[in-house]
Structure 1
Amino acid sequence: MKASTTPLALALCVCSVLGDAPSTSGTEWKKTQLLDDFTGTPGSLPSSSNWIIQTGTSYPGGPAQWGTGEVETYTSSTNIRLFDSGHLWIVPQRSSSGAWTSGRIESRRNDFAAPAGGKLRVEARIKMPDVTGSNGLGYWPAFWLVGGAFRGNYSNWPAVGEIDIMENINGQDTITEVLHCDVNPGGACNEPSGLGHQGTCTGSRCPGNFHIYEVVLDRTTSPEQLKFWLDRKLQYTITETQLGSTKWANTLHRGFYVVLNVAMGGAYPNAIAGFTTPTANTVPGVQMSIDYVAVWTTS
């Protein structure tokens, strides 16, 4: 649902940049649950074996405008396609009448989970839309996970759990990483804001450049931990202690599905801008490019 409806109330970061993320070249990440590098015929759609393309302005019977107030209509046409040598493009477009369209894909599997005593790792290499200032108002690219039980229900958010691995608002040179849980408003995750952290990319600007966005759910430690990584550097940690064991288990001891989309406008971009977005100055046609998406678990 990705329903950040107010400016993000950032929780205290438990960890800072402390080291590199685990390498897949070792023995820890033995089970590949999903690996898609989007190779295929340019102009075609991503693999239907891996992905569901959502269309319209809501789930069937779900809240209007995807529950967030975003203004675009998702399509399976020119808004989403494979491009060049192994990239998926999601491209917001604006019609001559001012109507916005964009793209949203979700993993067909909705059972990506950390095994008891093990770990779940989800990452993607993404170049966010290269927009800034007034021409980026309303852009809302995101890479996130939703609890699998949300499919077919659409009324159990945020208890179903949501992990926002990367959100970018209005072309700003920042990302947010957020956990949503429990009840709305309030609850263990301070909804609708969630427990979150705001970070910046190093080496190059976040929008317009490829960076690696990643989350690891670690059930090998006590208390268990949810760790967010950016370009292999640890950014933010949420622990089981912060939610309490019961709410932690209800939120994170479950299967998830992956979502990649570029929303336009909505409550979150509007709140950050202080007015309604997108505007007449917002530039259409600037893509989010995804190099790969991968999901691993330990044995």
Structure 2
Amino acid sequence: MRFRLRGRRACLTLTAALAVFSLGSGAAPTSALPAPPQGWRVVWADDFTGRAGSLPDGSRWIIDQGTQYPGGPPHWGTGEVQTYTDDPANLRLDGQGRLRITPLRDRAGRWTSGRIETRRSDFQPPDGGKQRIEARIQLPSVTGSAAKGYWAAFWTLGASYRQGIPVPEAGEFDIMENANGLNRIWGALHCGTPGGKPCNQDTGVAADTACTTSPCTGNFHTYTLEWDRSSPTEYLRWYVDGRLFHTVSSTQLDPAAWKAATGHGHFILLNLAIGGSFPDALAGHHTPTARTRPGSPMLVDFVTVLTTAPR
């Protein structure tokens, strides 16, 4: 549910099988990727294996830096206050198979954090098949006033964004968003035109849910987007720990808007922002505040992309 500022390039059940594939919440992180369910194959993955203190694999990931894309709107188009860096203090592997993204504040009150995006931008299901984009993530273990302004996200943007097509036209799938340390996850599709239909900018076609087995913050949960082209009606489905909480179908939207958002590949992003339109809207005031506590990391155990063969 990325509340957007205006500007050029404005930024933007499954039953047992998925439950088995999605590792349970709260448990310790794994050192290896889970085996895919029957009928699925892994087409891309990162389990963040590497030396403690090293940066994410540069053959897989681009490290975003600064406060905007070149030529894009300031503050990443969403009013965030942090600067993204490639400093291991903000972004590093922990040596135990996890990516660690940590927001920090210096003595002058300036915030820094980390954001990465996949080099590949062609993730989409085959015609007649399905795709899952999934990550196992521990959200920052901070709540209440100390969490005001924290904004964690696992999401995608359409490949056309890199060719200058702005959000929401390029398409955006927010697989998991969490803000202000709430025990709540948001999932959303952004498409169409800024400020207009059919995707209800600035909030998108969105739904939210609580984490039920343990709090969202401070515990590992598995977040999944399934993109289904196996029938004439296409679907996007959002899951937390294998539990479906949101569905959007191609029949709900204008065909041109659906095609513009889903008729091409996407790339994957992970970031931990501070401040911005979404946490501000939830808090009802500007964030972060003087009481927001720096240093609580988001940990990512793995990211996988799986597909099924066409029927």
Q: TM-score, normalised by structure 1?
A: 0.92
How far apart are the structure 2 equivalents of 1:158 and 1:142?
A: 17
Q: CA deviation at 1:84?
A: 3.3
Taking the aligned partners of 1:20 and 1:124, their CA distance within structure 2 comes to 18
Query: For the Cα contact (< 8 Å) 2:222–2:240, is it kept in 1?
Result: yes
How many Å separate the matches in 2 of 1:174 and 1:291?
A: 20
Aligned-residue offset at 1:149: 1.0
The change in CA–CA distance for 1:265 and 1:188 in structure 2 (over 3 A counts) is same
Identity percentage over the alignment?
47
Alignment of 1:227-238 (within 5 A): 227-238=237-248
- How far residue 201 of structure 1 moved from its aligned partner, in angstroms, is 0.7
Tell me, yes or no, if the aligned pair for 2:14 and 2:242 is still in contact at 8 Å: no
- Which residue of 2 is the match for residue 11 of structure 1? none
Report what 2:282 is aligned to. 272
Query: In the aligned structure 1, how far is the partner of 2:206 from the partner of 2:16?
Result: 21
> What is the Cα deviation at residue 5 of structure 1?
4.0
Could you say if the C-alpha distance between residues 5 and 245 of structure 1 is closer, same or farther in structure 2, counting changes exceeding 3 Å? closer
State the alpha-carbon separation in 1 of the partners of residues 140 and 72 from structure 2.
Answer: 28
Distance of aligned partners of 1:33 and 1:75 in 2 relative to their CA distance in 1, 3 Å threshold: same
Aligned: 1:67 with 2:66: no
- Report the secondary structure of 1:158's partner residue: coil
Task: Determine helix, strand or coil for the equivalent of 2:50.
Answer: coil
Where does residue 12 of structure 1 map in the other structure? none
| Equivalent residues, number | 286
Cross-structure match for 1:103: 114
Q: 1:177 aligns with which of 166, 169, 187?
A: 187
> Out of 244, 250, 255, which is 1:245 matched to?
255
- Aligned equivalents of 1:126, 1:25: Cα separation in 2: 18
Contact 2:4 2:77 in 1 (8 A): no
- Displacement of 1:134 in angstroms is 0.2
Following the alignment from structure 1 to structure 2, what is the Cα–Cα distance between the partners of residues 220 and 173?
33
Q: Does 1:51 align with 2:61?
A: yes
Asked if residue 83 in structure 1 is aligned to residue 83 in structure 2, the reply is no
Aligned to 2:15: 19
CA contact (8 A) 1:21 1:229 kept: no
TM-superposition CA deviations, 1:209-240 (whole Å, max 9, x none): 00000000000123111100110111111111
CA 26–131 in structure 1, closer or farther in 2 if over 3 Å, else same: closer
CA distance in structure 2 between the aligned counterparts of 1:210 and 1:200, rounded to whole angstroms = 14
* Preserved contact between residue 81 and residue 90 of structure 1 (Cα < 8 Å): yes
1:93 paired residue number: 104
Task: Determine the structure 2 residue equivalent to 1:14.
Answer: none
The 10-residue stretch of structure 1 (237-246 or 139-148) with the greater mean CA deviation from structure 2 = 237-246
- After superposition, the CA RMSD in angstroms is 1.5
The aligned residue for residue 203 of structure 2 is: 193
* 1:120 aligned onto 2:131: yes
Measured in 1, the distance between the counterparts of 2:140 and 2:163 equals 31
Structure 1 unaligned blocks of 5 or more: 7-16
Q: How does 1:131-142 map to 2 (within 5 A)?
A: 131-142=142-153
Query: Structure 1 114/216 Cα, relative in aligned 2: closer, same or farther at 3 Å?
Result: same
Question: Deviations for 1:100-143, whole angstroms, at most 9, x for unmatched residues?
Answer: 00000000101101111111110000000011010000000000
Residues 211 and 240, structure 2, Cα contact 8 Å, conserved in 1: yes
Relative distance call for 1:26 and 1:209 in structure 2 (3 A) is closer
CA distance in 1, matches of 2:163, 2:234: 29
Partner of 2:266: 256
TM-score w.r.t. structure 2 length? Answer: 0.89
The answer for the alignment partner of 2:157 in structure 1 is 146
2-structure distance, mates of 1:179, 1:67: 17
Task: Classify 1:21/1:74 alpha carbon distance in 2 versus 1 (closer, same or farther; 3 Å).
Answer: farther
Whichever residue aligns with residue 236 of structure 2, its letter is L
